[in-house]
Amino acid sequence: MTMAASTDAATPAVPTVAPAPERVGERWSWAPYLLSLPGLALFAVLLLVPLAMTALLSLNSFSFYGGIQDVWRFDNYLEILADSYFHEVFLRTFRIAALVTLLCALLGAPQAYILRRMTPAWRSLCLLIVLGPLLISVVSRTLGWALLLGSTGLLNQALMNLGLVSEPIEFMYTETGVVIALTHVLVPFMVLSVWASLQRLDPQVENAALSLGAGPSTVLRRIVLPQIVPGILSGSIIVFALAASAFATPAIIGGRRLKVAATLAYDEFLNTLNWPLGATVAILLLLANIVIIVGCNRLVERRYKQVFE
């Protein structure tokens, strides 16, 4: 009773005092939007507009004599979806990207873990070696791989001189060659990403597992690995996206014979001059990339939800 009475007594005072400061807080503030306008404008001009133009272009049609026709149809999409040649190219693209991602995870994650266990002096040296390739242009690195992988290249000569093979193995213009070169190009991204999540690991947590009787391999599997899943996942997303849309490496190692989506789009634009079809390839590549990445992301996040908080 007394409680009710006191609230009743207090109520009349509320409307006269409380709303005033509330209105100040609720007033629409333009400052943050105005301040981010330059950034938003840059983003729109450099990304959204070209993307929208590509999407529109993909709806046009192309005739060999008339050039680009201003029509709005899904013919290009239907053509790609119906033609087994395009299926093959897209399948190859994602097969390569998936393999490269897997290899990068298998190589990069242990590499990052080993780096963390090193003494600081060795660690900075090895980190430089791992990340150094990022400082060299992709084209020159890939040309280097072409020299190594060619039928008279260093690798084949070594294998033949060792008597391991009698004929040179064909790496150039094969998926194997593309996968090897792309893995080399992209593994630093995985190392960096796993490295970042390893930094957040408390070394005493590993000690705790040891003290409870877990052997080193159990600690790695049950304690370390689950905690660096977010790092491996974000590394995989970066590597997969870069591998699926890579151009220079497949162009040099894969050449004309072994097309992937990016080289296919390039050829449609610059050789066949069928810009709308090229644009369609690019848009489909983008869409497939988004679907695959978001899908995998969801799956892994659900499986390891507690480490993602």
Q: Which region, judged by CB under 8 A, interacts with other proteins, from 27-35, 87-95, 215-223, 293-301?
A: 215-223
Q: Which residues contact 127 (CB under 8 A, 6 or more apart)?
A: 115
User: How many residues sit close enough to other proteins to count as binding (CB under 8 A)?
Assistant: 22
Binding to other proteins by residue 220, rule CB under 8 A?
Answer: no
CB closer to other proteins out of 25 and 213 = 213
Binding to other proteins by residue 82, rule CB under 8 A?
Answer: no
Q: Which region, judged by CB under 8 A, interacts with other proteins, from 66-74, 99-107, 223-231, 290-298?
A: 223-231
Q: Cβ of residue 213: shortest distance to other proteins, in angstroms?
A: 4
Binding to other proteins by residue 303, rule CB under 8 A?
Answer: no
Binding to other proteins by residue 207, rule CB under 8 A?
Answer: yes
The only residue of 223, 292, 293, 296 in contact with other proteins, by rule CB under 8 A: 223
Beta bridge mates, 62: 68
Binding to other proteins by residue 118, rule CB under 8 A?
Answer: no
Q: 115 near 195, Cβ under 8 Å?
A: yes
CA distance 239 to 100: 8
Q: Cβ of residue 176: shortest distance to other proteins, in angstroms?
A: 37
CA distance 261 to 91: 9
Radius of gyration for the alpha carbons in the chain, expressed in angstroms and rounded: 28
DSSP code string of 105-147: HHHHHHHHHHHHHS-HHHHHHHHHHHHGGGGS-HHHHHHHHHH
Task: Please give the sequence-ordered ranges of beta strands (E in DSSP) within 18-169, or none if there are none.
Answer: 61-63, 67-69
The only residue of 226, 290, 297, 300 in contact with other proteins, by rule CB under 8 A: 226
CB closer to other proteins out of 16 and 211 = 211
Beta bridge mates, 67: 63
**Contact positions vs other proteins (CB under 8 A):** 202, 204-205, 207-216, 218, 222-223, 226-227, 304, 306-307, 309
